[in-house]
Structure 1
Amino acid sequence: MSGGHSPTVGRPLVPGLLCPDWALPKGVGALLTTCEGGVSAGDFTSFNLGAHVGDDPAAVASNRARLRAHLPSEPAWLDQVHGCTVVDAESVTGHVRADAAVSRTPGRVCAVMTADCLPVLLCDDDATVVAAVHAGWRGLAAGIVEATVAHMAVAPSSLRAWLGPAIGPGAFEVGDDVRCALADSDEEAAQAFVAGAAPGKWMADLFVLARLRLRRLGVERVDGGGACTYSSPRQFYSYRRDARTGRFASLVWLDAH
């Protein structure tokens, strides 16, 4: 696939930064970055925030500094490993292997970086807790969404979720192993898979799978979903599309009082 932008996912703030299309309570802030407006060159053009993808470290540092100017603090950057470990953002210093961060401290920024996997942001109605989740298919299968909601320790019915850009169902071809991991003996989850062109291949919908898991937890209010990274080369990085590529970020925080 190629083409232009996905459906609108947020309101432009400055080039490369969007305010997610998400009904936030007073006291919660959120941002989504794109691949535009930075200084990285070549395969990482131009607003790459990933320090682990082979980009010039000085360019990554410059891009992160540009992002930092619009945030209350340096984000709690995670070393994401497609698992189900959730950490408190307040405890993140240096390299922490985790796929979700939760914060109850005003001004502390939770962040996940993606380039096809699904970013999920969460907050509660009273603006007491926020979370950012890196939810690729492995993380979903491992229970990262469930672990994060549990870690937030508030009534799931009080939570609001936002699904950021991810590889869409028209581009995400997977094998029987992925379908079995996510939909074995689960008729509802099986509806997120459509038979592909070849035997044993399926087109998977991460948005449907995430919404299902959130709904089963009691999180009914879910915004976003549907913006495809693969089909938006001018706006979002996609590992499946380009292999050597950058990472964009989805970020959420409690406003400092």
Structure 2
Amino acid sequence: MITWAVPDNVGFAVSNREGGVSLPPFDSLNLGLHVDDNPEAVRENRRRVQHHFAMPAAPSWLDQVHSTKVVQLPLTASCQADASYTRCAGQVCVVMTADCLPVLLCNRQGTEVAAIHAGWRGLCQGIIENTLGHFSAPAEEIMALTGPAIGPTAFEVGPEVREAFMAYSPAAAQAFIPAAPGKYMANLEQLAVQRLNHAGVTDIHCTSLCTYTLSDKYFSYRKSPVTGRFASFIWLKS
């Protein structure tokens, strides 16, 4: 179970792949409707997660496309975006992942929350910064949680990924370790922490859980391209 010392008015949860009704290879708590799983099984899995974590309402699921778009809840219709923000009680922000990095945010007063889907493209192009821009609270009053994602011993990338991050900040080089010829092992969590720090957020709780090496507990697209999605949720209680 993932713990995080959030304000009393904030609720959060991170699911895994256990406790659902989906059949292999989506076994068993797949929450993604877009991966060719049985839609009725996914809807039942979503119902179970909402009930298990005592969420105040159904989560506002996004059509995630590795963008830098942030939407503010409540939504009037489904939309393409990779982060959601709200200051309204009873609205549940959610992002689905299966190797990409989920980032949850709240302010210390417990009046604003957000959920971010940070794949390397969105992270590099500014999804964290765009989401922080929705907060009224200054960065020094914002708390962050980085959830399960592919770890630095499993995430092999090409030089173009390293160069893209270094174009933003030369310090990003610290998050890349040379691997096979022309390849690097990338630390997605470290890159996110760098971006958060640069924006002024220093209260960061890192889970450092690798979806690839823990693929029996979390879905990993790089381990099994046909797989499900787990999710990270955050909401205001009242």
TM-score range, shorter chain: over 0.9
| Cα distance in 1 for residues equivalent to 2:197 and 2:207 | 14
- In structure 2, relative to structure 1, the CA distance for the partners of 1:248 and 1:92 (3 Å cut) is farther
- In structure 2, relative to structure 1, the CA distance for the partners of 1:111 and 1:51 (3 Å cut) is same
| Cα distance in 2 for residues equivalent to 1:247 and 1:40 | 11
Match of 1:229?
A: 211
Could you tell me whether the CA contact under 8 Å between 1:73 and 1:108 is conserved in 2?
yes
- Counterpart of 2:56, as a letter, is P
> How big is the shift at 1:105?
0.6
CA offsets 1:123-161 (integer angstroms, 9 cap, x no match): 001111000000010011110000000112320100000
Match of 2:93?
A: 110
- Determine which of 67, 84, 104 is the counterpart of 1:83: 67
| Cα distance in 2 for residues equivalent to 1:181 and 1:81 | 19
Task: Kindly indicate whether residue 191 of structure 2 is the aligned counterpart of residue 176 of structure 1.
Answer: no
Q: Could you state the TM-score of these two structures normalised by the residue count of structure 2? A: 0.97
SS at match of 1:239: coil
> How big is the shift at 1:187?
2.7
SS at match of 1:63: helix
Q: Could you state the TM-score of these two structures normalised by the residue count of structure 1? A: 0.90
| Cα distance in 2 for residues equivalent to 1:185 and 1:60 | 39
Match of 2:122?
A: 139
Could you tell me whether the CA contact under 8 Å between 1:82 and 1:136 is conserved in 2?
yes
SS at match of 1:222: strand
Gaps of 5+ in 1: 1-9, 11-19
| Cα distance in 2 for residues equivalent to 1:45 and 1:255 | 31
Gaps of 5+ in 2: none
> How big is the shift at 1:207?
0.7
- Determine which of 33, 37, 50 is the counterpart of 1:51: 33
> How big is the shift at 1:86?
0.4
Alignment of 1:86-235 (within 5 A): 86-93=70-77, 95-184=78-167, 186-197=169-180, 199-235=181-217
- Determine which of 220, 227, 243 is the counterpart of 2:225: 243
- In structure 2, relative to structure 1, the CA distance for the partners of 1:185 and 1:218 (3 Å cut) is closer
Match of 2:42?
A: 60
Aligned residues: 236
SS at match of 1:132: strand
